[in-house]
Structure 1
Amino acid sequence: MVVLLTEAGENIGLGHVTRCRAVAEAFRADGYLATVFADVHGEIPDLSGPNVKSFSWKQELEHLDEILDGAEVAFIDSYRADQDLCARISQEVSLSVVFDDFNRIRYPVDLILNPNPHAPQLGYEKQRAEIEGGSDFVILRPEFLPHRGGFTPRDHCTEIFITAGGDDYRALLPKLLSRLVREQYHLRVAAGSRVEELRREYAAHEDVTIHGYLTASEMASEMTQVDAAVSAAGQTLHELAFLGVPTVGICIDNDQQGNLRAHTQSGFLPRELFWDQENLTGEVVSELRVLGDREIQKERSEAGQSLIDGKGPKRIVDIVLRVDKNDNYV
C-alpha cells in the first residue's frame, strides 16, 4: 500500500495535490493500492474521490499512525512538514519518500525526489537520503497526455490563456486582465478562487471568459485552443511546456525560481519575470507581442516539448520499487 501525504489551500495552491494524484494513479496502474491524504487550508475545490481524502495529517498525529498502518511506502509532499514529523513518518513505513522543490530542509527519509527540471542545479550534498530528480521526473496529470501536439503555431497572437494558480495570493489576475483587456486580447482565464470577483468585473466584456477551477481535461483543452499563455511558474508551467504552448512565465514565490530559470535556459520562456517587479504588466505585453511571430511560436513550442515528455509518474513508480529501506538499489 502507498500513502501520499500532501497539502492544499490558501498560499499553497493545488499543485501538490495534483502531482500526488498523478503519482497515485501511476501506482494504481501497476496494481498497487494508493491513497492521497490532503491537509486542506481555506476554500478550495472539492477534493473528494475514491483515492483522495481530506485529512489534517500534520495536526492529528494520533490518527496519522492509523493511516500509515499497513503502508509500505509513504510520500511526503509538503512545505510545512518539519524534520521531526518526516522522521516519525519514515519510522512507520518500509520506504519514505519526499517530493522536494528547493532543498528545503535536511530530510530524515530514504529517498528525495525533485520532480523539476532544475533539480541537477541544487546542492543536495548534505542530504543523507538517495537523490533523484530532473526533467525525466516532472509529474503531469494523465489527462494532459492525449493533448500532446494539440498546439499549432499561428501567424498571430490574440487568444491568451491566463492563470496565476488556484489561489492567486499575489493578486496578479486583476492587474493582468486590466492591462490585457486594453490591448484587445481575447482572454481565457482560469481564475480559481477569484472567479466571482472577476466575473462581476468583466461581465460586459465579450472577449473575456472567466472560468473557476478547471478539471485537468478542461485545463488542457483550454490551453491548446489559444495562441499563447501567461502563467505562474509552478506545476502549470510544466503542463504548458509539455503541450508546447508558448508561454510568458511569472515567478510568484521562492519555490518557483528554479522552474523559471530552467524553462528560460531551455528556450521555452523568453526571460525571467517576477510578480513584484516594476512594470510587470508592460513586460508581459511586450513578450506577447513578440509571440505574434509564427517562427518564434514554433521555436518556443518545440523547446518546451523537448524538455518534458510526460513519463515522470511512471519513472517515479519504477525507481521507488527499486529502492529498499537501506537506501540501496535492488
Structure 2
Amino acid sequence: MKVAIFAEASEKIGLGHLRRCAVLAEEFMQEGDQVEFLTQTEFANNWLKKNKPNIYPSNLEVTECDLAIIDSYTLTDDDITRIFLTKCHVGFDDLNKKRKIFSMQINPAVSFDPKIQIIDPAFKKAVRKTNRPEVKTILISLGAFSTPENIEKITLQVEKIFPSANIISTPKATKKKSMPELFQEADLVIASGGQTIFELAITGTPTIVLKHVDNQNANINFIRQLKILNFAKNNQELQLALIKLQSQHERNQQTELSRKTFDFKGAKRIVKSIKQRCIKQ
C-alpha cells in the first residue's frame, strides 16, 4: 500500500504536526507500506534529517496513492482533491471542523481518548519512576512561541521561586541535546499546550502548561479532564504552580498519575483503524 503523508511545519507553526505524522509514517513503514512524506519547508526537512533519518521528504506536489493523511490548517478541500489522487483522504481534525473531504478524521484530543494519542517511541528512554529531591533544572519549551520575549517573561517568574535553578529553553537547548534527553535532565518543565504535553505526560515529567493560541484548547481541555498536569493562565497562577511543585511529593504524584494515563501504542491503533476504513473503500 502506498501512503502519502503531508504535515505542516514552520517556525511560526511549530513541529507538533510534523512530529506526530512522522510517528505514523514509521508505523506504516514497519508494516511494510510505502510512505511518501510530503513537506513544504526547509524547516521541516531539516528536522526530519536530524531526528527521523529513515524518512525521506518530498516536495508537496500531485501524487497518486492508496490513501493520504493530511495534517494541515491551510490546505483547502480543492487543494486536497487536486494534490492527493486517492479515494481515501484522512485528516487530523484538532479544531473539530468535521470536513467532508475526509473519509476519516483523526482527533485524539477532541475525542478524549488516551489510547489514540500519537507519542514518539523515542521518549521511552525519558520515562521516569520518581523525581530528584530538589528542583535544580527547569526547561522552558514553548514550541512556536519560544520567542526571546516569552522566555524572558517566564524566566523572571521562575527565578522568584527557584532563584538558584538552571533554566534552559528550546529551541536553543535542542542544538546540543534531543527532547527526550532534555526531559531526563529537567526536574520541571514549563510548556505550551501543543503535542509536547503528551510526551511530557507519558514520561512522567512534572509540568506546568501555558496556553498560547486557541487551537491548543482541545489538548489543554483533554489534559485538564485527566487531571494529570498543572496549568497557569497568568503570572499569579504560574507562581502558585511553581510553589506547589517545589514539593517532591507533589511532583512524584504527578509523575505516577500521568505516566499511567498514556502508552506508546496510539500510532499502531490509528494505523490499524485507517487501514480498516480505507480497505473498505
- Alignment of 1:189 onto 2:190: no
Task: Pick closer, same or farther for the CA change 1:52–1:177 going to 2, 3 Å.
Answer: farther
Instruction: Tell me: higher relative CO, structure 1 or 2? Use CA pairs within 8 A at least 6 residues apart.
Output: 2
CA distance in 2, matches of 1:235, 1:82: 23
Deviations 1:31-64 (A, max 9, x none): 1121321222879844444523252x3xxxxxx2
Aligned residues: 276
One-letter amino acid of the structure 2 residue matched with residue 250 of structure 1: L
Q: CA deviation at 1:170?
A: 9.0
What secondary structure sits across from 2:143 in the alignment? coil
CA distance in 1, matches of 2:103, 2:118: 20
Deviations 1:54-94 (A, max 9, x none): 52x3xxxxxx22xx22x21110001111222234456x114
Task: Pick closer, same or farther for the CA change 1:166–1:254 going to 2, 3 Å.
Answer: closer
Q: How does 1:12-161 map to 2 (within 5 A)?
A: 12-40=13-41, 45-48=46-49, 49-53=53-57, 55=59, 57=60, 64-65=61-62, 68-69=63-64, 71-89=65-83, 92-104=85-97, 106-116=99-109, 118-120=110-112, 134-148=113-127, 150-161=128-139
TM-score (norm 1): 0.75
CA distance in 1, matches of 2:75, 2:148: 23
CA distance in 1, matches of 2:179, 2:193: 16
Task: Pick closer, same or farther for the CA change 1:166–1:52 going to 2, 3 Å.
Answer: farther
Aligned match of 2:10: 9
> Identical aligned pairs, as a percentage?
25
Q: CA deviation at 1:323?
A: 1.1
Aligned match of 1:259: 219
Is the 8 Å Cα contact of residues 72 and 94 (structure 1) preserved in structure 2? yes
Task: Pick closer, same or farther for the CA change 1:7–1:41 going to 2, 3 Å.
Answer: farther
CA distance in 2, matches of 1:258, 1:52: 31
Q: CA deviation at 1:315?
A: 0.8
One-letter amino acid of the structure 2 residue matched with residue 230 of structure 1: I
Is the 8 Å Cα contact of residues 3 and 37 (structure 1) preserved in structure 2? yes
Is the 8 Å Cα contact of residues 173 and 191 (structure 1) preserved in structure 2? no
TM-score (norm 2): 0.87
Task: Pick closer, same or farther for the CA change 1:185–1:94 going to 2, 3 Å.
Answer: farther
One-letter amino acid of the structure 1 residue matched with residue 123 of structure 2: F
The structure with the largest helix share of the pair is 2
Is the 8 Å Cα contact of residues 8 and 17 (structure 1) preserved in structure 2? yes
Aligned match of 1:203: none
Q: CA deviation at 1:164?
A: 0.5
Is the 8 Å Cα contact of residues 21 and 52 (structure 1) preserved in structure 2? no
Out of 226, 232, 235, the residue aligned to residue 195 of structure 2 is 235
Task: Pick closer, same or farther for the CA change 1:103–1:52 going to 2, 3 Å.
Answer: farther
Task: Pick closer, same or farther for the CA change 1:221–1:110 going to 2, 3 Å.
Answer: same
Task: Pick closer, same or farther for the CA change 1:185–1:163 going to 2, 3 Å.
Answer: farther
- Alignment of 1:247 onto 2:223: no
Q: CA deviation at 1:238?
A: 0.5
What secondary structure sits across from 2:205 in the alignment? coil
CA distance in 1, matches of 2:31, 2:197: 27
Q: How does 1:277-296 map to 2 (within 5 A)?
A: 280-296=234-250
What secondary structure sits across from 1:285 in the alignment? helix
Task: Pick closer, same or farther for the CA change 1:170–1:119 going to 2, 3 Å.
Answer: farther
One-letter amino acid of the structure 2 residue matched with residue 98 of structure 1: G
Unaligned runs of 5+ in 2: none
What secondary structure sits across from 1:322 in the alignment? helix
